[in-house]
Structure formats: structure tokens, C-alpha cells
Amino acid sequence: MTSKQKKAAACVIAAAIAAPAEGLRQHWYYCPAGIVSVCYGDTKNVDKTKTYSPEECLTRLNGEMLLAVKAVEACAGGELTINQTAAFADLVYNVGPAVVCDTAKSTLARKLMAGDAGGACNQIPRWDKARVAGITVALPGLTKRRGIERDLCLTPDLIQEALQ
């Protein structure tokens, strides 16, 4: 499997987690953390005067997810499976690249850099909190999403195994 195919597979899997977790909103809105968002939780370049088509939203999701996959690949210390890349990419899409890249602030990032992908997978559930009205709280939707990401992260890749 080529690097390009691996990236594409990870993007598709990660987007399949993000889309139902975020839901489609074609007008801007504030997420629970108070961040202006649109479409599938996209926070980049949101035009508050625009109604986005489903196709535009899907294009935004795919573009941002590819950037998330690239961030994971750039910061991960070892060779990750497609499932691991997808799980970490959805996490990056949702909370930003510091979770996988900033070893000063993230145990998950330290484990990734050390080549301990399994240990990093087990850190995913810790990232289920957001600041709401000035208080850091666990959000049920994030707790569920982090569980899905962790389970995916710890599951062997069927795609890679089938191609070998």
C-alpha cells in the first residue's frame, strides 16, 4: 500500500467518525466550547453570512481531515497503522495538532514520539473535555467519540492485512 493510499484510507475512516459526531450544520454556530463553527465542526474561515451546501461541507471536511492526517504523520514517532492514523487524525481534527505534536503538554504526544502507539491510543479518552462557561467539563458526545477513536486505534487494520 502506498503512502498516498494509506493517507486516503485514513481520511475516509476519520471523516466517517467526524461526520456523525459533529453533525451537518450549513449555517455558522457556536460549538459547546463557544467556538464559531460550520458544517461538520469546521472552525477555519467561517463566513457567518453564508449558507454552505452539503457538497461544500464535505469538501471542507475532507480538506481539513487530510491536514489532520498529515499532522499526525509529521508528529508521530513510529510507523502507524491506518486505523491509528485515522483515530489520531479525528482527534486532531476535533482538538488541534498539539494533542499529537506538543510533547511538553501532551502525554499522548510523548508516547507517540517514543514509538508507543498503543500507549498513545490509551491516552485518547483523556481528551473529552471542553471549557464551557469558564469551567472545564467532560462532554458526553466527546466521551463517546473518544471511545470510538480509542477502540479504532487499538484495532488491527483489516485493509492493510488484506493487501499483504
Q: Is residue 161 annotated as a catalytic residue, yes or no?
A: no
DSSP state of 76: -
For residues 124 and 48, the answer to whether their CB atoms sit within 8 Å is no
Q: Name residue 36's beta-bridge partners.
A: 30
Q: Is residue 153 annotated as a catalytic residue, yes or no?
A: no
Q: Name residue 138's beta-bridge partners.
A: 129
DSSP state of 77: S
**Helix and strand tally (H, E) in the chain?**
8, 4
DSSP string, 114-144: TT-HHHHHTTGGGG-EEEETTEEEE-HHHHH
Residues 11, 22, 75, 101: which is the catalytic one? Answer: 22
Phi/psi at 21 (5° precision): -65, -40
What is the Cα–Cα distance from 163 to 81, expressed in whole angstroms?
Answer: 13
**Catalytically annotated residues:** 22, 31
